[in-house]
Structure 1
Amino acid sequence: MVTTAAGVVDRFSLQLTFLLFLSVVVVTLFTALLLAPQRDEISEFYLGNREMTPLRNGLAMCGDYISAATLLGSTGLVALTGYDGLLYLCGTAVAWMTVLLLIAEPLHNAGRFTLGDTLALRLTQGRRSVRLALSLCTLAVTTLYLVAQLVGSVALLTQFTGEPSATTRTLCVVVIGTVVIVYAAIGGMPGATFIQIVKAVMLISGIAVTAVMVLHHFHWNLDALLGSAADNSGLGTRYLEPGLRYGASTASKLDFLSLQLAIVFGLAALPHVMMRLLAPRTTRVLRSSVVWAMGLVGFVCLAAGILGLGATAVVGRATIEQTDRRGDSAVLLLAHQLGGGVLTALLSCLAFVTLLAVASGLTLAAASSLAHDFWGEVIRKGRAEQTEELVVARLAAVVIGVLGMLLALVSWGANTATLAFLAFAIAASAILPTLVYTLFWRRFNATGALLSLCGGLLCSVLLVVFSPVVSSTPASFYPDADFAWFPLQNPGIVSIPAGFLLGWLGTVTARREEPDTYDEFQVKALVGAE
Structure 2
Amino acid sequence: MVTTGAAVVDRFGLQLTVVLFLSVVVVTLFTALLTAPQRDEISEFYLGDRAMTPLRNGLAMCGDYLSAATLLGSTGLVALTGYDGLLYLGGTAVAWMMVLLLIAEPLRNAGKYTLGDTLALRLPRTQRPVRLALAVCTLTITTLYLVAQLVGSVALLTQFTGEPSAATRTLCVVVIGTVVIVYAAIGGMPGATFIQIVKAGMLISGVTVTAVMVLNHFDWNMNALLGAAADNSGTGTRFLEPGLRYGASTTSKLDFLSLQLAIVLGLAALPHVMMRLLAPRQTAVLRSSVVWAMGLVSLVCLAAGILGLGAAAIVGSDTIAETDRKGDAAVLLLAHALGGGVLTALLSCLAFVTLLAVAAGLTLAAASSLAHDLYGEVIRKGRAKETEELAVARLAAAVIGVLGILLALVSWGANTATLAFLAFAIAASAILPTLVYTLFWRRFTAQGALLSLCGGLVGSVLLVVFSPVVSSMPSSLYPDADFAWFPLQNPGIVSIPAGFLLGWLGSVMSRPEVPEIYEDFEVRTLVGAE
| TM-score bracket for the superposition, by shorter chain length | over 0.9
Q: What's the counterpart of residue 488 of structure 2?
A: 488
Deviation at 1:415, TM superposition (A): 0.3
Conserved? CA contact 2:6–2:323, under 8 Å: no
Q: What is aligned with 2:326?
A: 326
Contact (CA 8 Å) 1:2, 1:159: kept in 2 or not? no
Q: Distance in 2 between matches of 1:494 and 1:414?
A: 24
Structure 2 counterpart of 1:509: 509
- Which residue number in structure 1 is paired with residue 313 of structure 2? 313
Note the C-alpha offset of 1:148: 0.2
In 1, the alpha carbon distance for the partners of 2:466 and 2:443 equals 35
* Alignment match, 2:39: 39
Q: Give the equivalent residue in structure 2 for 1:337.
A: 337
Which structure 2 residues correspond to residues 57-456 of structure 1 after superposition, within 5 A? 57-456=57-456
Residues 529 and 197 of structure 1: CA distance in aligned 2, closer, same or farther (over 3 Å):
closer
**Counterpart residue identity of residue 164, structure 2:** P
The CA distance in 1 between the partners of 2:9 and 2:100, in whole Å, is 40
Alpha-carbon distance between aligned partners in 2 of 1:234 and 1:159, rounded to the nearest angstrom: 23
CA distance in 1, matches of 2:109, 2:224: 50
Counterparts of 1:378 and 1:124, CA distance in 2:
13
2:258–2:490 Cα contact (<8 Å) kept:
yes
Spell out, residue by residue over 1:101-133, the C-alpha distance to the aligned partner (whole angstroms, 9 max, x if none).
001000000000000000000011210000000
Letter in 1 for 2:446: A
Q: Unpaired runs of 5+ in structure 1?
A: none
| Secondary structure of 1:173 counterpart | helix
1:526 maps to amino acid: L
Structure 1 residues 353, 231: CA separation in 2 closer, same or farther (over 3 Å shift)? same
Structure 2 residue matching 1:473: 3-state secondary structure: coil
Q: Distance in 1 between matches of 2:527 and 2:201?
A: 34
1:55-79 deviations in Å (ceiling 9; x for gaps): 0000000000000000000000000
* Pairwise CA distance, 1:412: 1.2
Q: Is the 8 A contact 2:3 2:155 kept in 1?
A: no
CA contact (8 A) 1:523 1:529 kept: no
Q: Residues 311-345 of structure 1: CA distance to partner in whole angstroms, max 9, x if unpaired?
A: 00000000000000000000000000000000000
Deviation at 1:478, TM superposition (A): 0.1
User: 2-side partners of 1:184 and 1:518: how far apart?
Assistant: 35
Counterpart residue identity of residue 107, structure 2: L
Partners of 1:462 and 1:45 lie apart in 2 by 35
* Alpha-carbon distance in 1 for matches of 2:290, 2:6: 42
Query: What is the Cα deviation at residue 3 of structure 1?
Result: 3.7
- One-letter amino acid of the counterpart of residue 219, structure 2: H
Give the alignment's TM-score, normalised by structure 2. Answer: 1.00
CA distance in 1, matches of 2:3, 2:131: 44
Residue 529 of structure 1, CA deviation: 4.6
Where does residue 527 of structure 1 map in the other structure?
527
Hey, what's the Cα distance between the residues in 2 that align with 1:417 and 1:125?
Answer: 40
Distance 2:408 2:495 in 1: 26
Equivalent residues of 1:218, 1:224 under 8 A apart: yes
How big is the shift at 1:445?
0.6
CA distance in 1, matches of 2:50, 2:450: 32
> Partner amino acid for 2:50?
R
Whole-Å Cα distance in 2 between the matches of residues 230 and 97 of structure 1? 32
Find the aligned partners of 1:503 and 1:300 in 2 and give their Cα distance: 36
* 1:130-173 alpha-carbon deviations (Å, 9 max, x no partner): 00000000000000000000000000000000000000000000
Query: CA separation in 2, counterparts of 1:412 and 1:201?
Result: 29
Q: Does the aligned pair in 2 maintain the 1:91–1:264 contact within 8 Å?
A: yes
**Letter of the structure 2 residue corresponding to residue 200 of structure 1:** A
Report the Cα offset of residue 515 of structure 1. 0.8
Read off the aligned partner of 1:44 and give its amino acid letter: E
Report the CA distance between 1:5 and its aligned residue: 3.4
Following the alignment from structure 1 to structure 2, what is the Cα–Cα distance between the partners of residues 125 and 404? Answer: 34
Q: Distance in 1 between matches of 2:290 and 2:515?
A: 33
Following the alignment from structure 2 to structure 1, what is the Cα–Cα distance between the partners of residues 393 and 412? 28
Aligned length: 530
Q: What SS is found at the alignment partner of 1:489?
A: coil
Question: Equivalent residue of 2:475, what SS?
Answer: coil
Kept in 2, the 8 Å contact 1:2–1:323? The answer is no
Deviation at residue 6 of structure 1 after TM alignment: 3.0
Q: Distance in 2 between matches of 1:379 and 1:167?
A: 40
Equivalent in the alignment of 1:498: 498
CA distance in 2, matches of 1:3, 1:522: 51
2:23 — aligned with what? 23
How far apart are residue 272 of structure 1 and its match?
Answer: 0.1
Report the Cα distance in structure 2 between the residues aligned to 1:261 and 1:150, rounded to whole angstroms: 25
Q: Deviations over 1:17-36 (max 9, x none)?
A: 00000000000000000000
Q: 2:219 aligns to what SS in structure 1? A: coil
User: How far, CA to CA, are the matches of 1:270 and 1:452 in structure 2?
Assistant: 16
Q: Note the residue ranges of structure 2 that are not aligned, 5 or more in a row.
A: none
Q: Cα distance, 1:409 vs. partner?
A: 0.5
Secondary structure of 2:269's counterpart equals: coil
Spell out, residue by residue over 1:260-284, the C-alpha distance to the aligned partner (whole angstroms, 9 max, x if none).
0000000000000000000001000
2:23 corresponds to 1:12 = no
